[in-house]
């Protein structure tokens, strides 16, 4: 890993996980010293993150973590609502039954799991379906979308009841795929995305986590 990649990976991880929250100014000098790199790889990393809409640079003001607006959240879920049922249909043709059974098994006993474990299993379901959809263009679009969606999720930490609902919705999707009913699986995925959107907005507005515009 070169120095630009090192800076890119560290800064991006901190943005996605909320260590650098939306709107925070990035202190170039501090980050360069912490990572033991020069200004050139730091700037290259920042430019790459700008292209991914994770950082904004304002002349004479500095560089800031991109805000998340109400429109951003609405746009993320509207795209997911279209593309993820499509991914389910593509994956249905390729995914082995054993993989579906394994995913379903992992979602049992969720009351005994930590929030972080359940989040990882949520991410696993969507990423595995995307992998078996076997469409490189769709994968690139969704991977970028999931990164921005992760920032939304961090801002809208869910309750235990929300987690339970998510797991139950995943189980219904997997059961439909195991039953060979791709239409139902796609419909249930659409319902799942809409439900996630509603919960995200509820928590975000409660916590005043986004810039409203």
Instruction: Set out the domains of the chain in order of their start, with CATH numbers.
Output: 3-65 (1.10.10.10), 70-207 (1.20.120.530)
pLDDT, tens digit, for every residue of 145-157?
A: 999 998 988 877 6
pLDDT, tens digit, for every residue of 73-114?
A: 999 999 999 999 999 999 999 999 999 999 988 887 666 667
Quickly list DSSP for 91-127.
HHTT--HHHHHHHHHHTTTGGGS-HHHHHHHHHHHHH
pLDDT, tens digit, for every residue of 26-62?
A: 999 999 999 999 999 999 999 999 999 999 999 889 9
Distance CA 205, CA 123 (A): 24
Q: What is the pLDDT of residue 156?
A: 73
The strand pairing partners of 63, in sequence order, are: 57
Q: Is the pLDDT of residue 12 over 90?
A: yes
**What pTM was computed for the model?**
0.86
């Amino acid at each position: 890993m070169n120095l630009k990649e090192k800076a890119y990976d560290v800064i991006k991880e901190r943005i996605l996980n909320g260590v650098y929250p939306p709107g925070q100014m990035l202190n170039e000098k501090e980050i360069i010293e912490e990572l033991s790199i020069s200004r050139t790889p730091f700037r290259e990393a920042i430019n790459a993150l700008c292209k991914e809409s994770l950082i904004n640079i304002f002349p004479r003001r500095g560089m800031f973590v991109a805000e998340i607006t109400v429109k951003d959240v609405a746009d993320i879920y509207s795209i997911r609502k279209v593309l993820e049922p499509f991914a389910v249909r593509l994956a249905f043709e390729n995914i082995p039954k054993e993989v579906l059974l394994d995913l379903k098994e992992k979602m049992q006993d969720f009351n005994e799991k930590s929030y972080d474990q359940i989040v990882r299993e949520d991410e696993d379901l969507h990423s595995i379906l995307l992998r078996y959809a076997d469409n490189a263009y769709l994968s690139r679009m969704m991977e970028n979308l999931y990164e921005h969606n992760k920032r939304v999720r961090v801002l809208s930490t869910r309750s235990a009841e929300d987690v339970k609902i998510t797991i139950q919705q995943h189980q219904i999707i997997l059961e439909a795929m195991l039953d060979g009913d791709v239409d139902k699986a796609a419909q249930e995925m659409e319902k799942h995305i809409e439900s996630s959107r509603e919960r995200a907005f509820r928590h975000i507005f409660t916590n005043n986590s986004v810039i409203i515009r």
